[in-house]
Amino acid sequence: MAKVLVVTSGKGGVGKTTSTAALGAALAQMGQRVVVIDFDVGLRNLDLVLGAERRVVFDLINVVQGVAKLQQALIRDKRLENLWLLPASQTRDKDALTEEGISRIIAELRTRFDWILCDSPAGIERGAMLAMRFADAAVIVTNPEVSSVRDSDRIIGMLDSKTVKAERGEMVEKHILITRYDPGRASRGEMLSIDDILEILATPLLGIIPESQDVLKASNVGSPVTLHNADSPPARAYTDAVGRLLGDSIEMTVPTERKGFMSRLLGRKAA
């Protein structure tokens, strides 16, 4: 039974694309058949984060418009044979997306994959609306700061009213993924605490991804963080989150750096 999962947030720059790539790769590593779709038409990034940017021939808009077949646009990951990408078009804009086209593509993908991950663009306009339109479940990516939390609240409201599931009177399964979390700053009160965020959003927590240089490093080499350095704190946090998505009960912790003696002595470099 295929599951359509939208990764969304409302606010930009919180880590939707990074999270889509990491969750998609982790699911594929666990043997699931996964396709990730980039809905950010005109500002595509998912191809870069997955390291597939040099292999894009056809894209989502070509398939929506019937110029290419779905089979021609799907790109298989070089490292994980279960992971596929449907890239966005960089030369078009989001007005080229149509609901009928997306509906047809999702229906076709449902027959071939276990998980269909939709990487939503920021905002609440057409691209974001269509990314969530056919979702069965949603991961709402939130940073521990007020503007991001309020935007997430708005997006949750839309998941509950603007999706096909909501219109049928059903509920989209929703999960909060907190990214760029810095336990040190949170304990000093410089960030919203996890409890504050969950109290405001009244939605279950899927995972806490710590702020880490590993995320940037992985993006720069075109690899999902869960593949690039599976032992890094963010990779372990994403892997735990995927375990919870698959129904395992895994204790909620914030993975930290496994520090050696020297790094404890020389913890931070002065600017």
- Regarding 157 and contact with another protein (CB under 8 A), the answer is yes
Smallest distance, another protein to C-beta of residue 204, A? 6
Identify which of residues 97 and 140 has a Cβ nearer to another protein in the complex. 140
Sign of CA pseudo-dihedral 44, 49, 50, 55: positive
- Regarding 160 and contact with another protein (CB under 8 A), the answer is yes
Smallest distance, another protein to C-beta of residue 158, A? 7
- Regarding 57 and contact with another protein (CB under 8 A), the answer is no
CA gap 153, 166 in Å, rounded: 16
Residue type, 238: Y
Query: Who's near 23: CB < 8 A, 6+ residues apart?
Result: 5, 7, 117, 139, 226, 238, 241, 242, 245
- Which range touches another protein (CB under 8 A), out of 81-89, 90-98, 198-206, 208-216? 198-206
Smallest distance, another protein to C-beta of residue 198, A? 10
Sheet with 173-181, strands from edge to edge, namely: 75-76, 83-86, 34-38, 115-119, 3-8, 137-142, 173-181, 205-210
Residue type, 5: L
Closest-CA residue to 141 (of 126, 121, 116): 121
Identify which of residues 91 and 193 has a Cβ nearer to another protein in the complex. 193
- Regarding 202 and contact with another protein (CB under 8 A), the answer is yes
- Regarding 199 and contact with another protein (CB under 8 A), the answer is yes
- Regarding 203 and contact with another protein (CB under 8 A), the answer is yes
- Regarding 196 and contact with another protein (CB under 8 A), the answer is no
Identify which of residues 92 and 162 has a Cβ nearer to another protein in the complex. 162
Smallest distance, another protein to C-beta of residue 155, A? 8
- Regarding 204 and contact with another protein (CB under 8 A), the answer is yes
CA gap 4, 109 in Å, rounded: 9
CA R_g for the chain? 18
Return phi, psi of residue 264, to 5°.
Answer: -75, -35
Interface residue with another protein, options 162, 182, 186, 230 (CB under 8 A): 162
Helix (H) or strand (E) holding 129: helix 126-133
Smallest distance, another protein to C-beta of residue 205, A? 11
CA gap 241, 21 in Å, rounded: 13
- Regarding 165 and contact with another protein (CB under 8 A), the answer is no
Burial 223-241, CB ≥16 within 10 A → b, else e: bbbbbbbeebbbbbbbbbb
Identify which of residues 44 and 175 has a Cβ nearer to another protein in the complex. 175
Smallest distance, another protein to C-beta of residue 88, A? 26
Interface residue with another protein, options 77, 151, 211, 214 (CB under 8 A): 151
Strand ranges for the chain from DSSP E: 3-8, 34-38, 75-76, 83-86, 115-119, 137-142, 173-181, 205-210
Identify which of residues 110 and 150 has a Cβ nearer to another protein in the complex. 150
Instruction: State the residues that interact with another protein by CB under 8 A.
Output: 124, 146, 150-151, 153-154, 156-158, 160-162, 171, 173-174, 199-200, 202-204
